[in-house]
Amino acid sequence: MPACSPPPSQQVGVVVIGYQDAAHVTDAVRSALAQGAVVREVVAVDDCSADGSAELLGRLAAAEPRLRVLRRPANSGGCGTPRNTGLAAVTAPYVMFLDSDDVLPPGAVDALLGAAVEERAEVVSGLCVRRELPSGREVPWQAPLYATRTVVAHPARRPRLVHDTLCVNKLYRTAFLRRHGIRFPDGRFPYEDFVFTARVLAAGPRVALVPDPVYVWHVRRSAERLSISLDRADVSNWRARTHACRTAYDILLAAGQKRLARAARAKFLDHELRMYVRELEVRDVRYRRAWWAHTRAYLAEYDAADWTRSPTAPGRLIGRVILASPEPRDLPRLRELAARPARLLPPYPTGSDGLPVWSQDLPQVTLEPLLTRPVRLLPLAADAELRPSARGTRLSLRLHELYGRVERAGGPVAVEAQWRRREDGRCGGRRTAVFGPPERSAPRAGGAVWPVGVTVDPAALGAGTWELRLRLRFRDGTAREVTAHARADLPGHLRRRALPSTRHGIVLVQPYATHSGALALRVAPGARGVATVVRGRLRRLLH
């Protein structure tokens, strides 16, 4: 493949919006200016901040002719209006958006503009990386879309595009947006990018996808003022999200993009619904009731075709349970089903016809497709118990039968257990073990259970938070990657322990259940690590 020619200079305008973010806004602007000659202008829109943001930007603009600062006379209450203000001021042929607390990585604009010019694309989208702060852990957003460079002649040919609702990891031809009158919702409109992205897709642009990292989304969970996507403690956030999803669906449907509209509804079930269900169990009773009632009303708008394809896919199954019950129920089991990968915990009841159902009192929620679904897609459930001990730490696993599907695969042969450090994704080593013969339990409790044990050396893992991933191999040659359900019901199982170590002197070990119920492990080696944990606990107690 011939080398790509460099992108033409002064072709891109970057709109940076900010409100009360003096600590970060200049870093965002500088990351845009640092993209080089390809950036004609950076339009910084301050949404009437009172923390000195506008003054900081003004001083920066005095030394940088490419920077223009616009200050709104009153706060708009959202992100849409300042973005519209910036978009109206841009003179460059291409435009992109940047939030004040994020940054553009080096080469981002070159990668996007190069693809736009070479592929004659009206929209170019690249990989966004979520960077957790202060840990620095990076997680790619919607990575499967950006595995290779791709050109999509029309969005309907790639319905998966509806899953990337971000507006900031994309470059747009300015004339395209203006010709179709594409703007953000004004005022306080949470999840405004859902609507903007739907308007873009509804206009049918030629889209190019590039695998290059083009945007760094900073996730600050400890910030005093949480971003909209993180501030989910009040049910109003869920109402705003469903409203944005409904609006996006209506936009696509009105434009005749039925395939994209249906894909948007499927995305809601697979992403939004699963994300909020994982948190539902920790909310108070009032929140749960309000959330459940609102969700039932929203899902009642779905038609039959929205449910018929893959009816036991995790999001669809969760939605069917919610629709079938007027009150919140089975929250622990729904939380596990919402995990990635999904886990369907026992019991595994059958209806009067002998076919699988969610529960005896919800026989209308049938699970019959599980009898034919490929093993690699089944929501298999494994229980995990980790008991740290000075004599050796052992991980005990028990794989549950699922309506005979495990036995039909010949039963499990072996499991490969892998610990991955959450902070940086590093693998802490793999251990493989062979399953023992099945233990029989009551059919309603799940039938057969296959046990297996794996040794763990917390000292060798090192400091950090470690997530457990399992790869199951079956006798018929199939395989399935799963996570393990943490046995929180066992007395003392998730208790912190201090273990002697020849390498570190002492290691503090704590198994715990993640927000989706999976087993994870925190390790703090050495006296310094132990002291850090103790200080952190004291701070939490004092606050």
| 72-86, 328-342, 428-442, 466-480: least confidently modelled range | 428-442
Q: Are residues 215 and 241 in the same domain?
A: no
User: 289, 309, 338: which is the final residue of a domain?
Assistant: 338
Pair 322, 412 in one domain: no
**Alpha carbons 511 and 509: distance in angstroms, whole number:** 7
190 and 245 both lie in a single domain: no
Q: What is the mean pLDDT of the chain?
A: 91
The pairing of beta strand 12-18 with beta strand 94-99? parallel
pLDDT digits (tens, 9 = 90+) for 379-431: 999 999 998 877 778 999 999 999 999 999 999 999 999 999 988 888 987 89
Give yes or no: residues 243 and 181 share one domain.
Answer: no
CB 253 within 8 A of CB 261: yes
Lowest mean pLDDT among 167-181, 190-204, 302-316: 302-316
- In-domain check, residue 369: no
Residue 345 resides in a domain: no
Q: Is residue 335 within 8 Å of 390, Cβ to Cβ?
A: no
pTM: 0.90
Cβ atoms of 400 and 380 closer than 8 Å: yes
| Residue 228: inside a domain | no
Give the CATH number, domain containing residue 443. 2.60.40
pLDDT at residue 6 greater than cutoff 90:
no
Are 188 and 249 in a shared domain? no
Confidence category of residue 542, pLDDT binned at 50, 70, 90: very low
Which of the given ranges, 176-185, 386-395, 489-498, has the highest pLDDT on average? 176-185
- Same domain, yes or no, for 23 and 171? yes
Examine the domain organization and report whether 250 and 195 are in the same domain: no
Work out whether strand 497-501 and strand 505-513 pair parallel, antiparallel, or are unpaired. antiparallel
| pLDDT value at residue 228 | 59
Residue type for 15, please?
V
Domain shared by 68 and 174, yes or no: yes
Q: Which domain holds residue 50?
A: 12-220
Average pLDDT over residues 479-497: 88
pLDDT, one tens digit per residue, over 243-280 is 999 999 999 999 999 999 999 999 999 999 999 999 99
385 and 509 fall within a common domain: yes
Q: CATH number of the domain that 148 lies in?
A: 3.90.550.10
What's the pLDDT at 443? 47
- Report the domain count for the chain: 3
The residue among 109, 102, 100 whose CA lies nearest residue 41 is: 109
What pLDDT is recorded for position 538? 44
What's the pLDDT at 540?
43
Output the pLDDT for position 428: 86
Tokens encoding 353: 């016809």
Same-domain check for residues 71 and 148: yes
Residue range 289-299: average pLDDT?
98
DSSP state of 502: T
Q: Which two tokens stand for residue 233?
A: 């403690």
Write down which residue in 338, 354, 385 finishes a domain: 338
In a domain, 383, yes or no: yes
Reduced to 3 states (helix: H, G, I; strand: E, B; else coil), residue 381 is: coil
Residue 364 lies in a domain: no
**Residue 462, Ramachandran bin (φ over 0: left; ψ between -120 and 50: alpha; else beta):** left
Dihedral angle, C-alpha 365, 368, 372, 375, nearest 10 °: 50
Reported as a single tens digit per residue, the pLDDT across 211-226 is: 999 999 999 866 555 5
Instruction: Tell whether 366 is covered by a domain.
Output: no
| Residue 140 maps to a domain | yes
> Cα–Cα distances in Å, from 167 out to 124, 133, 359, 529?
11, 22, 41, 41
* Boundary-marking domain end, from 220, 243, 271: 220
pLDDT at 313 over 90: yes
Confidence of residue 136 (pLDDT cuts 50, 70, 90): confident
Residue 30 lies in a domain: yes
Q: Are residues 211 and 243 in the same domain?
A: no
Residues 438 and 514 placed together within one structural domain of the fold? yes
pLDDT at 532: 56
Q: What is the DSSP string of 215-261?
A: EEEEEETT-SS--TTT--SSHHHHHHHHHHHHHHHHHHHHTT-HHHH
